[in-house]
């Protein structure tokens, strides 16, 4: 069945000004927000799977305005006793063990998308990603950050940031009908000076 779908050509109409589409899917992202904590006996989990939904409004057959929402993501580092260093511009030290997490709220994007036409098409997109991220520590012992001590066993926020950064994206789209297609996506941006990138698969419905 899959080989039949992939080998069947579809007559795809070019988008017209005023047309719109909705995209739903998942992206596996890599976020280096906690990577600089890496060291002896430190375990880094710097990947997460997020959901994405976007809407596109075509201003020409190839060019569309795009807006979207990316669900919250989380990456973490498990630190061993007596670790110390600098993180997000402030010194830290640990007496005991701790799990440090960077947890982003849902992020919003606004940009443009340029696409070729045909049953198999390629596209590029660019715009701004608007984000908010909180850094928490769960501590068995004492975690000192920027001169403040954290000893709670429940997650405690020690740093927060919000802002916006440019994003770029590339992808390929394969039509599975006149109104539906499957996209294979790549996206890259920054969140609080940390590089993020991701690959995903999404379903597109032309409205």
Give tens-digit pLDDT for 185-206. Answer: 999 999 999 999 999 999 999 9
Q: What is the pLDDT of residues 139-186, one digit of tens each?
A: 888 888 998 888 777 788 989 999 999 999 999 999 988 889 999 999
Alpha-carbon distance of 56 to 34, in angstroms, equals 33
The percentage of residues in the chain with a pLDDT greater than 90, rounded to a whole number, is 62
pLDDT of residue 6: 45
Q: How confident is the model at residue 16 (pLDDT cuts 50, 70, 90)?
A: confident
**Does residue 10 carry a pLDDT above 60?**
no
Compare 7 and 160 and report the one with higher pLDDT.
Answer: 160
Q: What is the pLDDT of residues 47-90, one digit of tens each?
A: 999 999 999 999 998 999 999 999 999 999 998 877 888 888 88
Q: What is the pLDDT of residues 91-138, one digit of tens each?
A: 988 888 889 999 999 999 999 999 998 889 999 999 999 999 999 988
* Residue 72: both structure tokens together: 């919250």
Q: What is the pTM of this model?
A: 0.85
Q: What are residue 55's DSSP bridge partners? A: 22, 67
| CB 53 within 8 Å of CB 108 | no
Q: What is the assigned CATH class of domain 2-206?
A: mainly beta
pLDDT of residue 13: 55
Within 10 A of 153 (CB to CB), how many other CB atoms are there?
Answer: 9
**Does residue 2 carry a pLDDT above 50?**
no
| Cβ contacts of 97 within 8 Å, gap of 6 or more | 78, 79, 80, 81, 139, 140, 141
pLDDT of residue 18: 75
Q: What are residue 130's DSSP bridge partners? A: 108, 164
Closest among 134, 115, 142, 111 to 192, alpha carbons compared: 134
Alpha-carbon distance of 1 to 107, in angstroms, equals 37
Q: What is the mean pLDDT of residues 24-30?
A: 96
Q: 3-class DSSP state for residue 96? A: strand
Compare 15 and 1 and report the one with higher pLDDT.
Answer: 15
């Amino acid at each position: 069945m899959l080989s039949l779908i992939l080998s069947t050509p579809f007559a795809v109409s070019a988008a017209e000004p005023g047309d719109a589409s909705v995209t739903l899917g998942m992206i596996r992202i890599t976020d280096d927000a906690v990577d600089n904590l890496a060291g002896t006996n430190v375990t880094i989990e710097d990947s997460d799977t997020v959901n994405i939904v976007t809407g596109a409004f075509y201003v020409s057959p190839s060019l569309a305005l795009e807006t979207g929402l990316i669900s919250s993501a989380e990456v973490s580092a498990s630190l061993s006793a007596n670790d110390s260093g600098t993180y997000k511009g402030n010194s830290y030290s640990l007496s005991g063990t701790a799990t440090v997490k960077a947890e982003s709220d849902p992020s919003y994007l606004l940009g443009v998308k340029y696409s070729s036409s045909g049953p198999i098409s390629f596209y590029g997109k660019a715009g701004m990603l608007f984000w908010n991220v909180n850094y928490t520590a769960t501590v068995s012992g004492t975690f000192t950050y920027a001169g403040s001590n954290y000893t709670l066993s429940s997650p405690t926020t020690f740093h927060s940031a919000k802002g916006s950064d440019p994003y770029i994206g590339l992808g390929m789209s394969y039509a599975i009908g006149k109104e539906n297609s499957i996209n294979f996506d790549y996206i890259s941006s920054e969140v609080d000076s940390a590089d993020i990138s991701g690959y995903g698969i999404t379903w597109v419905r032309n409205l």
